[in-house]
Each structure stands twice: as C-alpha cells, then as structure tokens.
Amino acid sequence: MSQKNGNPPTHRLYIVKGEGENARWLEAGAAWANRDSQGFTIAIDVLPLNGRLVMRKAETKSNGGQS
C-alpha cells in the first residue's frame, strides 16, 4: 500500500517477529499523518497473530528503505 488520495504515507506498519538480529520485519500497512497533526489515518493489510505491530517513519526511496 503506497498511496492514499495521491499522498505517499508518512509511516509504514510492520509485523516484527523475534528479537534483535533474529527479528523478521514484514510490511503490514501504512499510515498518513492527519492534517491537524493530532493523529494518523491507518490502512492495515494484515494483522499479527503473534509478534508485534510496529509503526516507523516512512523512508524515502533515496535513502535505501527499512534496515
């Protein structure tokens, strides 16, 4: 999910399983900051049955993405 109403998301959602170097990050959706800066609109493609849901600031394509 890359865009909502033509605007790129400000944040990405990931399901994270495991800890530290053994953690696996799976993309789960995206989020857009609301115009009033008081919250987010969130679009979730999948939900974790186990693991945790993490929201991170979206990386621009020029700096390589999620590490």
Average pLDDT on 7-33 reads 93
Q: Whole-angstrom Cα distance, residue 25 to residue 28?
A: 9
Whether the pLDDT of residue 64 is over 80: the answer is no
What CA–CA distance (Å, rounded) separates 16 from 18? 7
DSSP E strands: which ranges in 1-67? 11-17, 24-33, 40-44, 52-57
pTM: 0.72
pLDDT band at 67 (very low <50, low <70, confident <90, very high): very low
Q: Which residues, at least 6 apart from 39, have a Cβ–Cβ distance to it below 8 Å?
A: 33
